[in-house]
Amino acid sequence: MSFLFSDEHTWLQRDGDTAVMGITVHAQDTLGDIVFVDLPEIGKSFAAKEVAGVVESVKAAADVHMPAGGEILEVNEALRADPSLANSDPLGAGWFFKVKLTKLSDLDALHDEANYKKLTD
């Protein structure tokens, strides 16, 4: 499975009509040491680009935007307990939530890795 990236520096990894989402390496580099994450409640639905959570670092706080619309199926409780996972493994153990995608056409607005890299270089 490949990653897709949003302009708001979140990523999505799709598996059928579900996806795992988190913040990008670029986002966590910019934020610095992450000390707190506010994750959405299970069952809540969000549209693409809507704020679904907040991440706080020693430098700043930032909204976490949905890369694609969906209903929250699961949140990463390990991340809530240890927010530094978003720094140490943002594309793996530092994932934020899993969603049931509700509008697959939202994926058309996302970038593949090569195009996202051009945005952040």
pLDDT at 50: 97
The whole-number average pLDDT for the span 106-119 is 95
Distance CA 65, CA 46 (A): 9
Domain limits for position 32: 3-103
Percentages helix, strand, coil for the chain, rounded to the nearest 5? Answer: 25, 40, 35
Closest CA to 96 of 66, 120, 117: 66
CATH of residue 14's domain is 2.40.50.100
Torsions phi, psi for 48 (to 5 deg): -55, 140
In a domain, residue 97? The reply is yes
pLDDT at 121 over 90: no
Q: Is 69 contained in some domain?
A: yes
- The pLDDT of residue 20 is 98
∠ CA 9-74-54, nearest 5°, is: 40
Give the pLDDT mean for 70-91.
97
pLDDT digits (tens, 9 = 90+) for 42-77: 999 999 999 999 999 999 999 999 999 999 999 999
Q: Is the pLDDT of residue 118 over 90?
A: yes
User: 1-46: per-residue pLDDT in tens?
Assistant: 689 999 999 999 999 999 999 999 999 999 999 999 999 999 999 9
Closest to 66 measured CA to CA, from 97, 105, 32, 30: 97
Instruction: Give residue 1's pLDDT.
Output: 65
Which of 3, 48, 1, 56 is CA-nearest to residue 27?
56
Q: What is the pTM of this model?
A: 0.93
Would 46 be classed as within a structural domain?
Answer: yes
Residue 117 lies in a domain: no
Domain count, the chain: 1
